[in-house]
Amino acid sequence: MELKRQLGLVTAIFIIIADVIGTGIFVTTGSVLGMTGNAFIVLLLWGIGGIVAITGALCYAELAVMWPDDGGEYIYLKKIFGMLPSFLTGWISLVVGFTASVAISSLTLVWYLSEFCQIAFLADPVYQKVLAAGLIVLFGIIHIYGVKQGSFLQNGLTVLKLLIVVSFITFGFVYADWSQADRLTMAYSSGGGKSITDYGLVLLLVMFAYSGWNGASYMAGEIKNPEKNLPRAMFFGTLLITFLYILLNVVYIISSPGTDLLGKHAIGAIAAGNLFGTAGASMITLGIALILLSAVSVQMMIGPRVYYAMAKDRMIFHSLERVNPRFLTPDLAIIIQTCIAVVYVMIGKNNIEALLIYMGFSLNIFPLLSVIGLMIMRKREPELERPFKVPFYPVVPLIYIVLTFSMMVAALVNWTKTSLFACGVVAVGVVVYFIWQKILSIKGADSE
């Protein structure tokens, strides 16, 4: 049984917004300001990050309408390069991409909730793990119950997320002291080196907050009229996020003296406290918790589609291909992600954060390969039907490739240990792939 096309344009846009906007935008700017020492460069880097996301989204839109199936880059890499690269992107998704991300989102949500409520049992790490695991199970059940029901809840949570972000921006602009507008261009003595690799590393931090711009591509097989809806969703979704991110950073920078923000993580709460007082900071804490509800939900929605696509190709246990005959969802794939994510929750927030830092390099490899693959396909099969073509080709894909490759070089130079660890996990995936192929060949021989 195949998954059905039940999702419209609005849901596709909301999937991207829900997958991208999380804690990153509320905690990253202080580090970026501390590393650059210049407020204008901070705004510029958030704009460049938006360009990376938009160019990547336009490239994925061309690939997604060529092959409008669930799975995202798993499908594209299979079509362009063969099974090994596609298996590896699915391997990374299963090991860390979605499973660890949903675990850290749920744990962070519970932590923000405990900060807002100030209830003793919520501060207990054991209770936090239990609640975080319960949230993952709850959203897993909801997304098993039905695509329409899950998307209805997802849309509602995303509307709430947008209301919180837009309200923060609106009231921030109203309450900001615009006589301090020079803060938007102010330079500070702090800020480390100013080499190209240093700025590449800072841009990589910014891109962590933009990760998820390709979210709708993972559910391309369930989006109605994908030839029109996918390109629109991916472009307008990433464009809106870029606009909101730049405005949020304007609010952050103008809210406080730069010295109060340099290197600080809780920059959203700092800005809210300076603009609206203690009550405002408390409300932002609650707002971030509510925003993360949407992030947990969407990661439980899109991640299993990768494992479903892998199972159809026998790249993972065949049973994960199952579509529930009543609910029309990949129920076993959702269950396996739920179980792995709960295991991650139990190992603790600090360990997951370390894993995500170590694996960050690998998360850029496969989108980069996908965009390179788009250019290869233009040469290899120019006659292939393309209902949507990347505008201003080849400039748009080249912008994405050059900027992403630069960030990866910067990570390799500055974070050599973590980058090599990520490459090592990918190498383990190569070994797993060949072992799996051997198992399949033995099973095939036994069945003859």
CB 337 within 8 A of CB 97: no
Least confident of 310-324, 335-349, 373-387: 310-324
Give the other-Cβ count within 10 Å of 257's Cβ.
13
For the cut 80, the answer to whether the pLDDT of residue 195 exceeds it is no
For the cut 80, the answer to whether the pLDDT of residue 191 exceeds it is no
Distance, in Å, from the CA atom of 96 to the CA atom of 429, rounded to the nearest integer, reads 12
SS3 content of the chain, % helix, strand, coil (to 5): 80, 0, 20
Q: Return all residues near 240 (Cβ < 8 A) that are at least 6 apart.
A: 13, 17
Q: pLDDT-based confidence at 74, cuts 50/70/90?
A: very high
Q: pLDDT-based confidence at 430, cuts 50/70/90?
A: very high
Least confident of 65-74, 182-191, 197-206, 336-345: 182-191
For the cut 80, the answer to whether the pLDDT of residue 236 exceeds it is yes
For the cut 80, the answer to whether the pLDDT of residue 194 exceeds it is no
Average pLDDT on 24-47 reads 91
Torsion over CA: 150, 152, 154, 156 (sign): negative
% residues pLDDT > 90 (the chain): 62
For the cut 60, the answer to whether the pLDDT of residue 376 exceeds it is yes
pTM score of the predicted model:
0.91
Average pLDDT on 320-324 reads 90
* Predicted pLDDT of residue 198: 80
Distance, in Å, from the CA atom of 117 to the CA atom of 416, rounded to the nearest integer, reads 40
CA 421 remoteness from chain centre:
21
Distance, in Å, from the CA atom of 60 to the CA atom of 408, rounded to the nearest integer, reads 20
* Predicted pLDDT of residue 447: 56
Q: What's the one-letter identity of residue 134? A: G
Give the other-Cβ count within 10 Å of 145's Cβ.
17
* Predicted pLDDT of residue 386: 94
Q: Return all residues near 384 (Cβ < 8 A) that are at least 6 apart.
A: 66, 377
* Predicted pLDDT of residue 132: 95
Structure tokens at 300: 């439980």
CB 53 within 8 A of CB 61: no
CB 188 within 8 A of CB 258: yes
Structure tokens at 284: 């932002």
Q: Return all residues near 95 (Cβ < 8 A) that are at least 6 apart.
A: 359, 425, 429
* Predicted pLDDT of residue 1: 67
Q: Is 113 helix (H, G, I), strand (E, B) or coil?
A: helix
Question: What confidence tens digit (pLDDT) does each residue in 9-23 have?
Answer: 999 999 999 999 988
* Predicted pLDDT of residue 448: 55
DSSP structure string for 165-199: HHHHHHHHHHHS-GGGGGGGG-B-S-----SHHHH
Average pLDDT on 259-276 reads 87
* Predicted pLDDT of residue 393: 95
* Predicted pLDDT of residue 402: 96
Q: What are phi and psi of 80, to 5 degrees?
A: -95, -45
Question: What confidence tens digit (pLDDT) does each residue in 118-163 have?
Answer: 887 888 889 999 999 999 999 999 999 988 888 899 899 999 999 9
Least confident of 24-33, 288-297, 356-365: 356-365
As a residue count, the chain comes to 448
Instruction: For residue 305, count CB atoms less than 10 angstroms from its CB and return exposed for 0-12, middle for 13-18, buried for 19 or more.
Output: buried
Average pLDDT on 421-445 reads 88
Q: Is 219 helix (H, G, I), strand (E, B) or coil?
A: strand
For the cut 80, the answer to whether the pLDDT of residue 357 exceeds it is no
| CATH architecture of the domain with residue range 9-447 | Up-down Bundle (1.20)
Average pLDDT on 237-262 reads 93
For the cut 70, the answer to whether the pLDDT of residue 189 exceeds it is no
% residues pLDDT > 70 (the chain): 97
For the cut 90, the answer to whether the pLDDT of residue 278 exceeds it is no
* Predicted pLDDT of residue 446: 57
Q: pLDDT-based confidence at 264, cuts 50/70/90?
A: confident
Average pLDDT on 235-243 reads 97
* Predicted pLDDT of residue 6: 86
* Predicted pLDDT of residue 257: 87
* Predicted pLDDT of residue 122: 83
Distance, in Å, from the CA atom of 158 to the CA atom of 145, rounded to the nearest integer, reads 19
* Predicted pLDDT of residue 426: 93
Distance, in Å, from the CA atom of 175 to the CA atom of 188, rounded to the nearest integer, reads 24
For the cut 60, the answer to whether the pLDDT of residue 445 exceeds it is no
